[in-house]
Structure 1
Amino acid sequence: MKFRNDIQGLRAIAVLLVLIFHLNSSYLPGGFIGVDIFFVISGYLVSSIIIDKKGKDSFNLSGFYIGRVKRIVPAYLCFLIIIFLLGCFVYFPMDIGGLRKNIFYAAIFNSNNYLASLDTYFGASSSENPLLHTWTLAIEMQFYFILPLFLMLVNRKYYAPVLIFLIIALFGYSYYNSTFLSNKSGMYFSLAARMPEFLIGTLMAVKGSLLEVKQPRFKNLCSLGALITIVITALLLNEKSNFPGVIVLVPCISVAFILINSDSVLNKSILSNKVLVYIGELSYSIYLWHWGLMALLRYSNLRYQFTLSEVALLMIVIGVFSYLSYKYIESYFRKIQTNNLIKVISASLAILCITAYLAPKVNNAIYPIPKKYSYATFGLDSHSDTFKFPERFGDLNKKKDSILLIGDSFALMYKPVLDYIGKRHGFNFLTVTNDGTPLIPGIAREDFSNNSLFTRYQKLSKQSSALIKQSNLILISSSWRHEITSLPQAFGAFAKLLRPNQTVIILSNFPSLNKNPIKVNRGVVRNVSVDNNYVLKTRQIPDEIIRI
C-alpha cells in the first residue's frame, strides 16, 4: 500500500486531541474521541495491507503477526519497565501492589478487561494510574489477532455485507448495554463494543473507492466538513455522554470520509504539512508516554490540575521521551531480524518480572510505612474479594452472641473498632462485608459496572442472608451511595422481612478526608512544612433510608 502523509497528519490530530483532553478534561471535554480516530485508521491501514497482499498472493499470517509485534511491543515493554521503575519511587506501599497487578495485565495485552473489572472504591484514582491508557493497545492487539483470520475465512465478495452486519450488530450491543443495562464502563473497555470502529476502517479499505466523492469541489467540502465535525464532537461530548454507544459513529464516519477522499485539498495540503506529519510519526510514542508521566505527576502532586510551568515541563519531557522512543526503539525494531526480536522481548519480559518481584521490597525500603497505617488489614477474611468465611470478633471467651455486622467498606472499617469495644464490654459478633455495596439482598444488576462485581455481591449476599435470619441484632454500616439506585427498594424489602425480635442499628457514617495524609506528608510522621489542612467529608444517609 502506498504511504500516505495525510494519514500521518490525521494521526497527529488524534493524538493531540487525546493529549489536550488528558492535560485537563475541561480544555477539550470530548478529546477522548482521538482514540476512536486511531481505531478507524488502524482498521483501514491494516485491512488495506492484508487485502493488498492477499491480492498479490503474498500474505503470510505469521509474518503479519510478527510485523505487528515489531511495531508495537518493543516500545511498549520499554515504557512498562520505565514506568514501573518510576512507580517504585513515586507510589506508596498501599498502591504499589495495584500498579504491579496492572503491569501484569498490560504486559499480556489484557488491561482492558482488567480495568473494566476494577472497583475503584479503593486505591489510587484513575487519573493517577499511569497504565490507564493501555486498554486501547490491548484492544488493538486483540483486534489484530482476529482481523486477518476474518479476511482469510470470509470470501472476498461477502466482505461488505458481513462487515455491515457486524458493525450494526456490535453497535447495537454497545448501545443496549450502555443505555438499558447501565454498563457504560464495561462497554468503554470492551473489545466487542470497540470492534465496529475498526471495522468501519476495514469497510473503507474494502469498498472505499465506491464511496469516494468524485466531484472535486464537493469532495473538498465533504472532507473539510468531516474535520469540522470531528472538532465540534470533541468540544461537545464529555465523560458523561452515553459513549461509546451510537454517538461514536459521528467521529468514526467523519474519519472514514477523510480516509477515502485522499486527494482532497484537506488531505493534500493541511493534513500533509510537515509539522503534522512529523507529529503523526511520533504519535504512538507520544500516546505511550504522555499519560504515564502525567499520572505519576498527579499522584505525586495530589491534584488533578497542572500549573503552567508543569504543563511546559511535561511537554518537554513527553517530547524527549517520545523522540527517543521513536528514534531508537520504534524505528530500529521495525527492521530487526525475528530471532533478535525474540531475544530482546524475552530479555525485556525477564527485566519486567524481576522488577515486579523487587518492586514491593524497593518501595517498602523507600517508604517504610506499616501496613496498618496505609490500608485495611483487619477482617479481610470476611470481606469482598478476599472473603474466605464469616469471621467472629470481640470477646471470644464467652458464648456466641446473636450479633451481625454487615455493610460495605465502611463496615470493614468498623470491624477493629467493634472488636476492641466487644473485648472491653463482653460481647462478640459475626461479620461479612463487601466493597462498594452493602450486603442487603435485592440490589439490581444495573447498579454494578460489570458482571464480576455483581457475581461477587450475589455470592456474599447469600452468606449475609443466611446470617441475617439467625441474628437478633444486626449492625449495618454503609456509605449509602446515591449511585446505587435500587438500594432504597432493597433496604425496604429487607426491613419488611425482619422478625419482631430482630433489631437493626445503622452505624453513622464516619468522616473521611479530602486527601490522604500519608501522601501529603510523604510518610506517617507529620511534616510541618506541608499543608496539613483537611476538609472533613461525611456522606449523609439518604432520606429514603431514614424514612424506612
Structure 2
Amino acid sequence: MKPEQSPTYRPEIDGLRAVAVTSVVLFHADLGLPGGYVGVDVFFVISGFLITSLILRDLRDDTFRLADFWERRARRILPALVPASAAALLLSIAFLPPDALEGVGRSAMYLAAFASNVFYRNNLGYFSARAEEQPLLHTWSLAVEEQFYLLFPPLLLLAFRLVKRSHLRLALVLGITAALSLAASIRVTRIDPPSAFYLLPARAFELLAGALLAFVPAKPLARLGHAREFLSIGGLTLIAACCLLFTRETPFPGVAAAAPCLGALLFLLANLRSVAGPPPTWSGLALASRPFVFLGLVSYSFYLWHWPPLAIAHSWKVGGDAWLFRSAVVLGAFVLAVLSWRFVEQPFRKPRPRRSRAWVAGGAAVAMGALLLGGASISAHGEISQVPPAALGWLDAKIDPKYLHIVGLDRMRARNLPSIGVRDEDKDPTVLVWGDSHAMAVMSAIDEACRDVGWKGLVATHASTAPVRGYYVRETYGLNERALPYSESLFELIPTAGITDVVLVAYWSSYFREDPPSHDPLVKALLLTIKDLRALGVRVWFQREVPKYAVDVPQELARRALVGLAPPSGEVTLAELHVPSPMQAFESEIVAAGATLVDSIGALSTAEGLPIAGVDGRSLYCDHHHLTPAGARRLLPAYRAAFAAATQP
C-alpha cells in the first residue's frame, strides 16, 4: 500500500509540506517571498509531529526498536540525497573556480557526517552574499534534523520508561526541554546569530513543538466545532504573514522563529482527528487536494534539487534581475524532483524481503563514504575546475597577506607597530600610515615609495576603523569604542617617536551615516583630525578614496570573460558600475585644512577619465573596493611623486 493510501495517512500534512517547500523555493529564487525561509521551520514542526506520533505508537505497542527507526530514516533520506548531492558536486566542478570548489568539497565532507550545519556555522552566515553561492547550503537543515533524530529517539525511549509510560509526564519533560531550547535560541540569536541559526540547540524547540502535538488527544478537539476553522485559517495566515513580512534583516531564529512554528501547530491541531477521513476544516480540505498533495509528496526531492543551480547562478551573478530565468531554473528543478521521487525515492522507501537491515546499513555506508571521498578529493584538487583559464585569470585577485596588519589597542599602547620603508635598525621612523583595510590593500605601494626616498615608517591599521581622532562608528570588525583611546595613543606617539609625515587611507564612504553626507559628523571629525596633526608639525597626506563598484569586480570581469566581453589585454573599465564616493565633495575642505591629496583616482583611471577595473587579464580589485597588489602598484607613481616632492629643500 502506498503511503498516501494508508488508513492513517494525513493528506493535508502533505499539503502543508507543499506550502513550506514553495515558501523556501520562492525565497531562494527571489520570487516575491522575502521571509519564505520560514518554510524550513514549518518542516521542522511537521517532522517532529509525525516522527513522534510513530514512535509513541510503537512505544505503546512495545514494538519500538531503534534499529528499525534508523533504518526507516536511512530509506527516507539517503536515496534522494546522494544523487542530488552528486549532481551538485558535478555542477560545481563544471562552473565554480578552484577556490570556491575547494569549499564545496569540504562542505560535502561535512554533509557525509550530517554536520554541514556545523561547517556553515563556522564559515559563513545564511544571509551573507557568500552563502548564496554555496551549492550545498540547503543541507544545513537536513543536518539539524538528522542530529535531532540521532539523539531524540533513544532519549524519548529512556524517558518513556523512567516516567513509567505516563504520557503526561513525558509531555512535561519534552515541554520543559522545548522551553529551554527556545530560551537558548532567543539568547544566542542576540549574541551569536550564526550559532543560533545553524546549530541544533537553538533549533530543537521547533522539532519538539511538533513532538508535543503528538501527545494531544484528537477526540476532545471535536468539541471545538467551527472554532477549528479559525485555528486552521489562523495558522496558515500566520505562516503567510511571516513569509511576507520577515526579511533577511529579521533577527532569526529566536522569537521570530516561534511565529511560523505556531502557525504550523495551529493548522495541525485544528485538523487532528482520531480516525482516517477528510480533514475537519475547509482549509485542511484545500491542502488535501491533489495539487497540494502531489507537491507535498515530492517536496523533499524538490528541496534537494532546487538550490544547487540557483547557487551556481548566484556565484556568477546570472539571472539576478531576470525573474523569468530564475523561474525556469525552479521549473527544471521541479521536473528533476518528480523524476527523483518516482524513480529513486519510491523504490527505496519500503523494505524488501531479500534486502536485510545489514544491506541497508551497508548501502548507506557506501553512499556516504563515496560522498565523503568525493568531497575530500574535490577539496584537495580544486584545479579540476572546468572554468576557462580566461575567467580564472580575473578571479585570481587577493590582497597581499604580507600587509594585513590588524593593530589593536594593546599593540598601539605598547607602541609595537609594524614597520615599512627602509630596513635599517639604526634609522628612526619618520612616517606613519594610519588607516583601515584600504590602507592594508595599498601598503605595498607606500612601502616601496618610502624605500625609494629613504624613509622608514610605522603602520597603524585596523579593519573597519576610520583614521579619525575622537570619532567612531560601530562596525562588526572595527575597534568601535576602543577607537577613541586608540587615536589618543597614536597622537601621543607622533611627537615622541619623531614622526614628520602621516598618511591617511580609508574606505571613507563606509563610515557615512547621515543623508545628506554634508551633515555627517565624520567630515567635521576628519577636518579637526587633520588640523590637530598639522598642529603637531607633521605633514598630512590624504589618499583619495579609490573608485568603488556596485559589483564584485573580479567576479564581474570573469563572468564577462565567459561570454567574450572582457578582453584579455589592455585596460578594462566597468564605468557603468562605478559608485562615486561622497568624500570627493569634501576634498577642497580637506586641502584647506592642511592635507595634501594623493591622487589614487587618477592613477586608476583611463586617459579619458574612466575608472579602470582590470588590466591585461588581471583584476585591480579583489572585491567591490579593495585593491589587489596589481591595483596598488598603479598608485606607486603618485606616492613616489608626493614623497619625492616632500624631500626637496
- Shift in Å, 1:281: 1.3
2:455 is aligned, of 413, 427, 446, to 427
- Shift in Å, 1:296: 1.3
Question: Aligned to 1:369, what secondary structure does the other structure show?
Answer: helix
- Shift in Å, 1:391: 5.8
| Alpha-carbon distance in structure 1 between the residues aligned to 2:471 and 2:144 | 31
Alignment of 1:308-319 (within 5 A): 308=324, 310-319=325-334
Change (3 A) 1:364 1:475: farther
Aligned residue number for residue 237 of structure 1: 246
Aligned residue number for residue 537 of structure 1: 579
Aligned residue number for residue 326 of structure 1: 341
Change (3 A) 1:78 1:89: same
Alignment of 1:395-544 (within 5 A): 395-396=422-423, 399=427, 401=429, 405=433, 408-429=436-457, 431=459, 448=476, 472=497, 477-479=505-507, 481=510, 507-515=543-551, 516=553, 517-522=556-561, 527=566, 532-537=574-579
- Which entry has the higher C-alpha Rg, 1 or 2? 2
What's the CA shift string for 1:195-235, capped at 9, x where partnerless? 21111101101235487353332223322332233223322
Letter of the 2:248 partner, please give it: E
- Shift in Å, 1:76: 2.7
Change (3 A) 1:52 1:302: same
Letter of the 1:51 partner, please give it: L
Alignment of 1:10-49 (within 5 A): 10-24=16-30, 27-49=32-54
TM-score calculated relative to the size of structure 2? 0.68
- Shift in Å, 1:38: 0.4
- Shift in Å, 1:149: 3.5
| Alpha-carbon distance in structure 2 between the residues aligned to 1:427 and 1:249 | 61
Q: Is the 8 A contact 1:94 1:374 kept in 2?
A: no
Aligned residue number for residue 285 of structure 1: 301
What's the CA shift string for 1:146-195, capped at 9, x where partnerless? 322431333354322233333333323333444xx465454333422222
Change (3 A) 1:220 1:345: same
- Shift in Å, 1:43: 1.1
| Alpha-carbon distance in structure 1 between the residues aligned to 2:195 and 2:133 | 20
| Alpha-carbon distance in structure 2 between the residues aligned to 1:504 and 1:74 | 66
1:357 is aligned, of 380, 389, 409, to 380
Aligned residue number for residue 200 of structure 1: 209
| Alpha-carbon distance in structure 2 between the residues aligned to 1:111 and 1:407 | 37
Question: Aligned to 1:234, what secondary structure does the other structure show?
Answer: helix
Change (3 A) 1:119 1:220: closer
Alignment of 1:92-107 (within 5 A): 92-93=97-98, 95-107=100-112
Aligned-residue identity in percent: 25
- Identify which of structures 1 and 2 has the higher relative contact order when contacts are C-alpha pairs closer than 8 Å and 6+ apart: 1
Change (3 A) 1:433 1:244: same
Change (3 A) 1:422 1:37: same
Letter of the 2:249 partner, please give it: K
What's the CA shift string for 1:245-286, capped at 9, x where partnerless? 323323212211222323313466222222211111111111
- Shift in Å, 1:351: 2.8
Change (3 A) 1:266 1:7: same
| Alpha-carbon distance in structure 2 between the residues aligned to 1:237 and 1:348 | 35
Letter of the 1:396 partner, please give it: R
| Alpha-carbon distance in structure 1 between the residues aligned to 2:221 and 2:538 | 73
Q: Is the 8 A contact 2:55 2:64 kept in 1?
A: yes
Aligned residue number for residue 370 of structure 2: 347
| Alpha-carbon distance in structure 2 between the residues aligned to 1:391 and 1:198 | 52
Q: Is the 8 A contact 2:505 2:545 kept in 1?
A: yes
Worse-superposed segment, 196-205 or 225-234:
225-234
Q: Is the 8 A contact 1:226 1:257 kept in 2?
A: yes
- Shift in Å, 1:44: 0.9
Q: Is the 8 A contact 2:108 2:372 kept in 1?
A: no
| Alpha-carbon distance in structure 1 between the residues aligned to 2:403 and 2:220 | 59
| Alpha-carbon distance in structure 2 between the residues aligned to 1:464 and 1:305 | 44
1:67 is aligned, of 58, 65, 72, to 72
Change (3 A) 1:273 1:223: same
Question: Aligned to 1:19, what secondary structure does the other structure show?
Answer: helix
Q: Do structure 1's residue 111 and structure 2's residue 116 form an aligned pair? A: yes
Letter of the 1:112 partner, please give it: N
Tell me the C-alpha RMSD between the 2 structures.
4.6
- Shift in Å, 1:327: 3.0
Change (3 A) 1:500 1:422: closer
| Alpha-carbon distance in structure 1 between the residues aligned to 2:366 and 2:59 | 30
- Shift in Å, 1:340: 2.6
2:361 is aligned, of 338, 361, 364, to 338
Aligned residue number for residue 50 of structure 1: 55
Where structure 2 has 5 or more consecutive residues not aligned to the other structure, the ranges are 1-5, 273-278, 352-358, 408-415, 515-520, 591-649
Q: Is the 8 A contact 1:182 1:447 kept in 2?
A: no
Alignment of 1:71-150 (within 5 A): 71-93=76-98, 95-118=100-123, 125-150=130-155
Aligned residue number for residue 286 of structure 2: 270
Worse-superposed segment, 406-415 or 197-206:
406-415
| Alpha-carbon distance in structure 1 between the residues aligned to 2:434 and 2:113 | 37
Question: Aligned to 1:131, what secondary structure does the other structure show?
Answer: coil
Alignment of 1:202-241 (within 5 A): 202-207=211-216, 209=218, 212-241=221-250
TM-score calculated relative to the size of structure 1? 0.79
Letter of the 1:280 partner, please give it: G
Question: Aligned to 1:214, what secondary structure does the other structure show?
Answer: helix
Q: Is the 8 A contact 2:12 2:287 kept in 1?
A: yes
Aligned residue number for residue 175 of structure 1: 186
1:9 is aligned, of 12, 15, 25, to 15
- Shift in Å, 1:402: 6.2
Q: Is the 8 A contact 1:74 1:345 kept in 2?
A: no
Q: Is the 8 A contact 2:470 2:487 kept in 1?
A: no
Worse-superposed segment, 164-173 or 369-378:
369-378
Where structure 1 has 5 or more consecutive residues not aligned to the other structure, the ranges are none
- Shift in Å, 1:288: 1.4
| Alpha-carbon distance in structure 2 between the residues aligned to 1:56 and 1:237 | 43
Change (3 A) 1:95 1:214: same
- Shift in Å, 1:314: 1.4
Change (3 A) 1:465 1:431: farther
Worse-superposed segment, 197-206 or 107-116:
107-116
Change (3 A) 1:425 1:250: same
